[in-house]
Amino acid sequence: MLIVALTSLPSLHPAVVHFPIALLLAAFAVDLAALALSRQSWLDRAATLLWVMGAAGAGAAFLTGRQAGDDLGLLSPVIEAALARHADLAKWTLVAAAAVAILRVVLAWAARAGTGYGRRAGRAGVLSLGLGVAVLVSLTADRGGTLVYRHGAAVTAEGPRATEPRGGSPAQARTREPLTHLAGGGLLWSPAAEDAPALGDIVTVVGAAGALAAEPAPGDVGLGLTLRIDGRAVLLLPGEFADVQVRAVLDLSAFRGTAGVVHHYRDEGSYGAFEVNDATSRLIDRRGQEQKVLAEGRRASGPVEATLAVSSVGSHLKGFLDGETVAHGHVPAPSAGRTGLLLDGRGVVRLRELRVERDQSLSPDRGER
């Protein structure tokens, strides 16, 4: 976009967002004056115009904000949760502002037509709704400020991005625990070749017999576990999570099929996942044996070692490939479930890491169970 190319702004959102804040708060103030000074008809017309312009600005801020959030790529669970809360408030601000703008236009038309039907009562009602819009604007702006000034989102290109370990030395492989409990209730599985015999003890494997086998390759050293796939298998970490981020680092060079990270897994008929294959990537949601594709994105070309990640916060779902957002969808907030890795195809996959994290600021009922 031109404004991004000509300035240091990371997106259009910071250039747009201040207009609806000013316009909607000004609309509420002018509406107050129009009610108090009912003989000043120009105040009534000005309030209507400000509400319409403010609602249009709120729509622009919402759309550019969503794009700006996606452009940030893979963030920490804490920032993803803060971003989701900001987006939810922005959506309700847009809905409320649009409703007030429509009502204000109707009242203006009734006044112009000379009906006078419920004019003063209608303006008082719109003003009451306008107070709610002013509160929503303030809360949304506060959440946006929290993202920038507390979490540093979009302040630097690399600051908020999550980092991805890419293997390690043989010494690290010998000293590192296969399953690590992270701060905040998360889990990190960094398997090594010698973990093959204990695969079922570390994670739960769901699938047909013989669909998955772990096998140490000759001379295999360092972090990573070789998995031979012939069919469909799901590897599930222990514990259940609500709002969650799941990441996997995989070498897919010798695999043909679909690989994905799974969240809110209850059984084979109820789970969500971010999947990739040779052609595309997609967010899916399965409930009651019915599968729905929520969003599709590109399958980026690049190194055969890929990082797949999915973030699920409330109703917000995002799929990431090598740290970039490639799919964004929404579902009703699912109940807590298990997390893990999905493999469906044939060949060999090298699993470097499987990680699950949650927002540490969450209350216990939205965290691990």
Residue 15 has pLDDT above 60, yes or no: yes
Q: Which residues contact 367 (CB under 8 A, 6 or more apart)?
A: 184, 185, 241, 242, 243, 358, 359
How far apart CA 135 and CA 345 sit, in angstroms, is 52
What pLDDT digit, counting tens, does each position of 203-223 carry? 999 988 778 888 765 555 556
Whole-prediction pTM value?
Answer: 0.80
Residue 170 has pLDDT above 50, yes or no: no
Token pair recorded at residue 292 = 């729905």
How far apart CA 74 and CA 80 sit, in angstroms, is 8
Over residues 302-315, mean pLDDT: 85
Residue 320 has pLDDT above 90, yes or no: yes
How far apart CA 363 and CA 107 sit, in angstroms, is 44
In terms of phi and psi (left: phi > 0; alpha: psi -120 to 50; beta: otherwise), the region of 364 is: alpha
Residue 361 has pLDDT above 80, yes or no: no
Q: What percent of the chain has pLDDT over 90?
A: 43
Residue count of the chain, please give it.
369
Three-state DSSP state, 178: coil
Place of tokens 């701060």: 183
Place of tokens 């293997």: 167
What residue type is 125 in one-letter code? G
What pLDDT digit, counting tens, does each position of 154-168 carry? 665 444 444 444 444
Over residues 117-141, mean pLDDT: 81
- Each residue of 42-61: b (16+ CB within 10 Å) or e? ebbebbbbbbbbbbbbbebb
Q: Which residues contact 359 (CB under 8 A, 6 or more apart)?
A: 77, 78, 80, 81, 184, 243, 313, 366, 367
Q: Is 137:55 a contact under the CB 8 Å cutoff?
A: no
How far apart CA 352 and CA 9 sit, in angstroms, is 36
pLDDT in the model for residue 365: 45
Q: Please give the DSSP secondary-structure letter assigned to residue 193.
A: G
How far apart CA 249 and CA 246 sit, in angstroms, is 11
Q: Please give the DSSP secondary-structure letter assigned to residue 150.
A: I
Helix (H) or strand (E) holding 112: helix 77-113
Q: Is 309:247 a contact under the CB 8 Å cutoff?
A: yes
Over residues 291-316, mean pLDDT: 83
Over residues 320-328, mean pLDDT: 91
Mean pLDDT (the chain) is: 82
Residue 174 has pLDDT above 50, yes or no: no
What pLDDT digit, counting tens, does each position of 220-236 carry? 555 688 999 999 999 99
Token pair recorded at residue 271 = 């789970």
Residue 175 has pLDDT above 60, yes or no: no
Of 70-84, 85-99, 234-248, 252-266, the poorest mean pLDDT is in 70-84
- Taking alpha carbons only, the member of 103, 94, 144, 143 closest to residue 122 is 103
Q: Which residues contact 365 (CB under 8 A, 6 or more apart)?
A: 242
Indicate the pLDDT class of residue 176, thresholds 50, 70 and 90: low
- CB 157: neighbour CB atoms within 10 A? 10
pLDDT in the model for residue 171: 42
Between residues 198 and 30, which one has the greater pLDDT? Answer: 30
